Amino acid sequence: MKKQSMFPLNHVLGFVLSIALTVGAVFIVYQTDFSASVKMNIIGTLAIFQALIQLIMFMHITEGKSGGINIINIAYAIFLAIVVVAGSIWVLTTGHAAM
Amino acid sequence: MKYDFFVTGDPIILMSQIGIGLTMIGLIALITYLKKWTYLWKEWFTTVDHKKIGIMYIIAGVLMFFRGGVDGLMMKAQTSRPGLELLNAQHYDEIFTTHGIVMILFMAMPMLIGIMNVLIPLQIGARDVAFPKLNALSFWSFFVAALLFNISFVIGGSPDAGWTSYFPLAGKEFSPDIGNNYYAIALQISGIGTLATGINFIVTILKMRAPGMKLLKMPMFTWTSLVTSVLIVAAFPILTIALLMMTLDRMFGAHFFTVAAGGDPMLWLNLFWLWGHPEVYIVVLPAFGMFSEVIATFSRKNLFGYVTMVVSIVAIAFLSMLVWVHHFYTMGNSAAVNSVFSITTMMIAIPTGVKIFNWLFTMRKGKIQFSNAMLWSLAFIPCFTIGGVTGVMLAMAAADYQYHNTMFLVAHFHYVLIPGVVFAVFAGLYYWWPKMFGFALNEKIGKWHFWLFVIGFNLTFMPMFFVGLDGMSRRMYTYSESTGWAPWLGFSAVGSLVMAAGFAALVYNLYWSFRYASRDVGSDPWDARTLEWATASPVQEYNFAVIPEVTELDQFWKDKKEGTNKIKKEDIKDIHMPSNSAVPIIMGVAFGIVGFFLVFEMFILSAIFSVGIIACLIANSFDYDDGYHIPAKKVLETERKWRGDL
């Protein structure tokens, strides 16, 4: 590994960020007056960032021999999921079904 | 449920039943008489050699082409004159359904996968595919599925809801016969094989290239095959799930696609085309790769714009996942949906146009040789462009309300798929035949094949554009004199006979060349550019005595020019090869039997026989056979035979 320094900056940063995101989610659910759907949207977004932090900073997805391949696989899977699931819902719930 | 086990009451079908029975008995008797069972079992049925598997795919593809072609001729005969009653409506429905499925899934796919099988390891300098036994299983599951699908017209009745099998028509309520069960089960079994092929080729191409062959030094056919494999892995699981839901609907009373209990028939269309549109590119991309190889070789130039070619293929593959709604604009989508899908569809014309110009520029100032393979590639460009331009017309959602489900659409996709796939397969067969079999196909008979087929193709499908614009919808089994379509359709029927004569010329060519063609073609008859020509014709079982090293695109061409295409005796080592295996064929047969009982909804019997599939999986897990070695001495002997000096 290239940046093998004494102080584990990445880990500390990741730890702080993941705590912050979790506390943020709790704060939004218990301490704000947003409607339920707005709350869901916000914590959903926070969850995606949480997952990214876990994958990159703790699970070392970008490192090692197959790092690049892992990223491509995940991007491919996300692309397909969006196309198939979100695409189908969009196509089938607008137009004829909505009428 | 109502069905007769054997389809009865029709003299044509009765004749086919007797014909099929006699052919089977004759075939078995002939093989027994010639004592070829052991040979077939050892050399072909249990083989894991990618070249032999490829050849079996191609043979099956040619047979299916004949079957699908006969379907087509029957439709053309039925519509040749107004008010004809050669076929009744039910038969016509069954025939256009099986014509579509056979041509796409059991003709185009195996032809292309067959050629991929033979060539990909050779083009990348490998000794086999990554998972040879899985490859054999892919073939047998396809082959068994094809047989299962084809017996439908004599046993139980064929599917009759169109190759798209739209719900609610394809549901139990409107199609209570078992015909559509054949559709669900046979496609499912063959889809398993195709998915495995996709995975196999991705791994093969990514992991087994010769040393030095970077991704951007791969031959164009290898590139297109890689992208096709990725598309297979993306799209086929969607078909798997859609067919599973169809099976549950039809056999177990689920309601995914029936309105009755909150299902949605449009969900079937949506899922079908989520697979179906990428499927079009799955068959057409490897074909593009073949044209690229053929055009470069016979223009005596390297391929123009290699990198833009690669970018175009990837762009086509990406966009092909985003256009599926253009098959059902008329379901009444919102303006936003139809506009987005219109735009993505039209965008596909851009990378495709880039490819057309790249081929033209490859030919520019080249020394073009008009061999048969090149003729097919030359005919492809104008014919395919007509298909492409009419495709852009259909892409416009507003205009599509006029064209939807007319003969105009039918003419369009035949103008795309026949030049795009069938011409490519013919070009590929003429081009690579010497590599596969050690003799070339006759060029003179090949010219007959070419001219009859191309002229016949245009005569058949050009008139369909005009009847389509004149309002003839697809899948009409008859029409009245007053429509004024009779001259066009009569013309078209004559064209189909010319096309059939072209196919007959091909069959004669195969026969003639097999009997009389010179066996002395050398390893590189066309003075070609890529690695498959660096080894013997027909190819030895181990492909390459010494794995070649690659520094350039068109490595073999460079080696020839610099005289570095010799191998050294000291470099030849023992070669490790995979052993044959009976597991794939037994598992394939088990799949076939299970499928057959599932079609007839005999669940206990199919459960009993599915033990066979599981037993094969277990047997395979305990198979510790690591293959065998061909000793260096024997390799040297074989190499001396065709190289002469070593």
- Distance (Å, whole) CA B168 – CA B325: 18
Whether residue A76 and residue B234 make contact (CB cut-off 8 A), yes or no, is yes
What is the structure's pLDDT at A4? 56
Q: Which of A84, A91, A96 sits opposite B325 (nearest CB)?
A: A91
Search chain A and give the residue with CA nearest B328: A91
Residue B472: DSSP 8-state: P
Mean pLDDT of B421-427: 96
Q: Spell out the alpha helix ranges (H) of B208-305.
A: 220-252, 265-299
- Distance (Å, whole) CA B493 – CA B73: 8
A3 and A36 part of one domain: yes
Whether residue A83 and residue B266 make contact (CB cut-off 8 A), yes or no, is no
Mean pLDDT of B398-410: 94
What is the structure's pLDDT at B1? 44
Number of domains in chain A: 2
Whether residue B274 and residue A98 make contact (CB cut-off 8 A), yes or no, is no
Cα B502–Cα B367–Cα B444 angle in degrees, nearest 5? 25
What is the structure's pLDDT at B170? 92
| Residue of higher predicted confidence among B149 and B641 | B149
Q: Which residues of B touch A66 (CB under 8 A)?
A: none
> Tens digit of pLDDT for each residue in B34-89?
888 899 999 999 999 999 999 999 999 999 999 999 999 999 999 999 998 888 88
A7 and A37 part of one domain: yes
Search chain A and give the residue with CA nearest B330: A96
What is chain A's alpha carbon radius of gyration, rounded to the nearest angstrom?
19
Give yes or no for a contact between B113 and B57, defined as CB atoms under 8 angstroms apart: yes
The SS3 of residue A7 is coil
Give CA torsion, residues B148, B149, B151, B156, to 10 deg: 100
Q: Does B466 have pLDDT greater than 60? A: yes
Segments in chain A below pLDDT 50: 1-2, 99
Residue B44: DSSP 8-state: I
B262 touches chain A (CB under 8 A): no
- Distance (Å, whole) CA B103 – CA B425: 13
A2 and A47 part of one domain: yes
In the block, tokens 């001396």 appear at: B640
**Which 193-252 residues of chain B touch chain A by CB within 8 A?**
234, 238
What is the structure's pLDDT at B376? 96
* Tokens read off for B123: 């083009």
Pairs of CB atoms within 8 A across A/B = 42
Q: Does B353 have pLDDT greater than 50? A: yes
b or e along B265-289 (b: 16 or more beta carbons within 10 Å of the residue's beta carbon)?
Answer: bbbbbbbbbbbbbbbbbbbbbbbbb
What is the structure's pLDDT at B555? 87
> Tens digit of pLDDT for each residue in B580-619?
999 999 999 999 999 999 999 999 999 999 999 999 999 9
b or e along B167-200 (b: 16 or more beta carbons within 10 Å of the residue's beta carbon)?
Answer: bbbbbbeebebbbbbbbbbbbbbbbbbbbbbbbb
What is the structure's pLDDT at A93? 87
Give yes or no for a contact between B325 and B397, defined as CB atoms under 8 angstroms apart: no
Domain ranges, residue A50: 1-59
B314 touches chain A (CB under 8 A): no
Q: Which residues of A touch B270 (CB under 8 A)?
A: 88, 91-92
Whether residue A95 and residue B334 make contact (CB cut-off 8 A), yes or no, is yes
- Distance (Å, whole) CA B132 – CA B204: 10
Distance from CA of B333 to the nearest CA of A (A): 4
The SS3 of residue B406 is strand
What is the structure's pLDDT at A96? 60
Whether residue A94 and residue B264 make contact (CB cut-off 8 A), yes or no, is no
- How many CB atoms sit inside 10 A of residue A97's CB? 14
B154 touches chain A (CB under 8 A): no
Query: In chain A, which residues touch B (CB < 8 A)?
Result: 76, 79-80, 83-84, 87-88, 90-92, 94-99
A35 and A5 part of one domain: yes
> Tens digit of pLDDT for each residue in B529-583?
999 999 988 999 999 989 988 988 888 898 888 887 778 888 888 999 999 999 9
Whether residue A88 and residue B333 make contact (CB cut-off 8 A), yes or no, is no
What is the structure's pLDDT at A99? 46
What is the structure's pLDDT at B490? 94
Give yes or no for a contact between B189 and B613, defined as CB atoms under 8 angstroms apart: no
B267 touches chain A (CB under 8 A): yes
DSSP A47-93: HHHHHHHIIIIIS-TTSSTTHHHHHHHHHHHHHHHIIIIIHHHHHHH
| Residue of higher predicted confidence among B10 and B344 | B344
Mean pLDDT of B198-216: 94
Q: Does B16 have pLDDT greater than 80? A: no
Whether residue A95 and residue B321 make contact (CB cut-off 8 A), yes or no, is no
A74 and A93 part of one domain: yes
Whether residue B333 and residue A80 make contact (CB cut-off 8 A), yes or no, is no
- Tell me how far apart the 2 most distant CA atoms of chain A are, in Å: 63
A53 and A82 part of one domain: no
Whether residue A76 and residue B332 make contact (CB cut-off 8 A), yes or no, is no
A41 and A70 part of one domain: no
| ipTM metric | 0.84
In the block, tokens 């096309």 appear at: B499
> Peptide bond before B351: cis, by omega within 30 degrees of 0?
no
A43 and A25 part of one domain: yes
What is the structure's pLDDT at B279? 95
Q: Please report, for chain B, the start and end positions of each structural domain, with discontinuous segments joined by +.
A: 36-581+625-643
The class of domain B36-581+625-643 in CATH terms is mainly alpha
A6 and A53 part of one domain: yes
What is the structure's pLDDT at A65? 72
Mean pLDDT of B363-367: 92
Mutate to test the interface with B, among A73, A91, A96, A99 (most CBs of B within 10 A): A91
A12 and A43 part of one domain: yes
What is the structure's pLDDT at A5? 60
Q: Find the helix or strand (DSSP H, E) in which B629 lies.
A: strand B628-630
